[in-house]
């Protein structure tokens, strides 16, 4: 028995792996934080605001328990009242990752080990608020407490990026992401008119639309943008020819209605155009598929978007995605493709293997619990190479959510240690440590080209 084998026999390998990765920096390459809040860096008022102001994961959990909406998103209740309701809910949310995330949040940001429940709510509220006041906890302090080095926010094509330009922090790089969802809706000409105003390009057809989009991509790139994103509900099953796309744009500009077939063809055309433009500008393309957006129309009308009412959507035809990637040809950018429906893992992971530079995105949203993360890791291990995946992201609007990287790293360490305990042939402890570090930090850092 070698010295390293003897050493490993005396310890839990998962703990040893976790110890090697737990303090690595965080490159959070997809989230929905508000750059204005990061710039202003205003201290938080209370723990209720920090936990519940923007975290729709927690909102969904409260609704599932039957909590009245006024204690979730209502303006007529205080954060203390909301916090007390959440405390009652989360204490018995066995198996839900929010329960584990909360334990990490309470300790990481407030040094509180007391489990939150209806009985402890008053005590936790007082202790946390005292800590917030004494330490002047603010957005950037939260980021630094979790060793965040890089934040990629999600920003509309027409965004001014004024707060990205103002943020000047030597410890944290805050960059925009070129998000095209609003553009891709094509309900009428209103968004095209908005794009005209910010790009300085008069749009009269497909050529001028492409010129306007290239102007915006260059603008985002000047603000250190490394990522794009698109997450519209319906993935196009067809790609219009250029002439058809031009005609559809002209109809929209003329105020004419377009049918779903024309809209879908135009969307397919722009997926391909944008992919090639990202290639030219060294921007990584993110594609999110398999989400059902806003099925509760009354909730959409009264509460709004991104309030926790979305759900897992249908599996899309893998051929549709393959056609988009194939049409990009030699100008296909590096791409990270996420599915909210895990039934798509096999077709998606194997399709990524057909197009070098395309990677299956991490277990996303409803899948970022322990079993979902392990299911994703298992599928990637079996169908691709575990060592090259880009790793964890928060996809969150909460400044407390970065403790989820710790949650992921614990699960990753446990998963990788199983290969040692299973007697994997030619197992090398140092190789598995390298893979753990790469997945947690170095893969995405190198992909972006950070120094």
Tell me the three state secondary structure of residue 84: helix
Strands 311-312 and 284-289: unpaired
pLDDT at 299: 94
Helix (H, G, I), strand (E, B) or coil at 412: helix
Asked if residue 39 and residue 105 are part of one domain, the reply reads no
At 294, the pLDDT band (50, 70, 90 cuts) reads: very high
E strand or H helix that includes residue 174:
strand 173-175
Q: Is the pLDDT of residue 440 over 50?
A: yes
Do 116 and 85 belong to one domain?
yes
Helices (H), 201-241: 206-222
What integer is the mean pLDDT of 261-271? 98
| Cα 96 to Cα 121: distance, rounded to the nearest angstrom | 19
Helix (H) or strand (E) holding 155: strand 155-156
Q: pLDDT grade, residue 379 (50/70/90)? A: very high
Residue ending a domain, among 103, 137, 171, is 137
DSSP 136: T
Give the separation between CA 333 and CA 331, rounded to whole angstroms.
6
* Mean pLDDT over each residue of the chain, to the nearest integer: 95
Strand pairing report for 155-156 and 26-28: unpaired
Does 133 lie in the same domain as 147? no
Residue 446 pLDDT: 97
Q: Of 121, 137, 153, which marks where a domain is finished?
A: 137
pLDDT band of residue 420 (cuts 50, 70, 90) is: confident
Query: Residue 23: CB partners within 8 Å, gap ≥ 6?
Result: 147
Q: What pLDDT does residue 1 have?
A: 45
Q: Are residues 182 and 295 in the same domain?
A: yes
DSSP character string of 178-211: EE-HHHHH-SSSHHHHHHHHHHT----SHHHHHH
Q: Lowest mean pLDDT: which of 10-14, 303-307, 314-318?
A: 10-14
Predicted confidence at residue 430, as pLDDT, reads 85
Write out pLDDT tens, residues 82-124: 999 999 999 999 999 999 999 999 999 999 999 999 999 999 9
Could you tell me which of 400, 436, 408, 435 has the C-alpha nearest to residue 132?
400
The percent of residues in the chain predicted with pLDDT above 90, rounded, is: 93
Number of domains in the chain: 2
What whole-number distance in Å separates Cα of residue 192 and Cα of residue 247?
Answer: 15
Asked whether 289 and 338 are in contact (CB, 8 A), the reply is: yes
Domain at 299, CATH number: 3.20.20.140
* 213 lies in the same domain as 159: yes
Of 137, 157, 180, at which residue does a domain stop?
137
- State the chain's maximal CA–CA distance in angstroms: 78
- The predicted pLDDT at position 428 comes to 72
> What domain range includes position 90?
44-137
SS3 of residue 96 by DSSP: coil
Same-domain check for residues 240 and 316 = yes
- In this structure, the answer to whether residues 312 and 225 fall within a common structural domain is yes
């Amino acid at each position: 028995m070698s010295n390293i084998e003897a050493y490993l026999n005396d310890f839990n390998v998962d703990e040893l792996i976790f110890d090697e990765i737990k303090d690595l920096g965080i490159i959070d390459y997809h989230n929905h934080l508000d750059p204005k809040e990061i710039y202003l860096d205003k201290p938080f008022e209370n723990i209720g605001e920090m936990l519940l102001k923007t975290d729709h994961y927690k909102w969904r959990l409260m609704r599932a328990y039957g909590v009245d909406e006024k204690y979730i998103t209502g303006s007529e209740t205080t954060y203390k009242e909301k916090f007390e309701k959440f405390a009652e809910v989360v204490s018995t949310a066995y198996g839900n990752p929010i329960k584990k995330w909360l334990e990490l949040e309470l300790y990481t940001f407030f040094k509180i080990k007391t489990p939150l429940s209806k009985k402890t709510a008053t005590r936790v509220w007082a202790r946390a608020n005292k800590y917030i006041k004494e330490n002047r906890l603010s957005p950037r302090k939260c980021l630094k407490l979790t060793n965040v080095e890089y934040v990629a926010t999600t920003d509309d094509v027409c965004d001014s990026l004024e707060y990205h330009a103002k943020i000047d922090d030597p410890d944290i790089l805050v960059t925009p992401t070129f998000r095209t969802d609003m553009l891709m809706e094509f309900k009428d000409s209103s968004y095209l008119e908005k794009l005209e105003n910010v790009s300085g390009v008069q749009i009269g057809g497909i050529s001028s639309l492409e010129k306007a989009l290239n102007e915006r991509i260059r603008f985002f790139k000047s603000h250190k943008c490394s990522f794009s994103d698109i997450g519209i509900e319906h993935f196009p099953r067809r790609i219009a020819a250029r002439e058809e796309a031009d005609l559809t744009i002209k109809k929209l500009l003329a105020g004419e209605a377009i049918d779903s077939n024309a809209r879908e063809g135009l969307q397919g055309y722009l997926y391909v155009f944008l992919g090639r433009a990202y290639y030219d500008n060294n921007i990584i393309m993110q594609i999110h598929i398999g989400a059902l957006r806003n099925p509760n129309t009354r909730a959409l009308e009264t509460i709004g978007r991104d309030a926790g009412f979305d759900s897992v959507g249908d599996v899309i035809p893998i051929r549709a995605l393959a056609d988009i990637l194939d049409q990009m040809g030699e100008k296909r950018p590096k791409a990270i493709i996420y599915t909210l429906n895990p039934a798509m893992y096999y077709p998606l992971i194997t399709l990524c293997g057909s197009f070098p530079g395309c990677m299956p995105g991490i277990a996303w949203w409803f899948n970022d619990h322990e079993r979902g993360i392990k299911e994703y890791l298992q599928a990637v291990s079996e169908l691709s190479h575990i060592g090259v995946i880009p790793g964890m992201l928060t996809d969150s609007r909460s400044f407390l959510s970065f403790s989820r990287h710790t949650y992921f790293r614990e699960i990753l360490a446990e998963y990788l240690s199983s290969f040692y305990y299973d007697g994997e042939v030619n197992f090398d402890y140092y190789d598995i440590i390298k893979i753990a570090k790469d997945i947690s930090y170095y893969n995405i850092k190198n992909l972006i080209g950070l120094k």
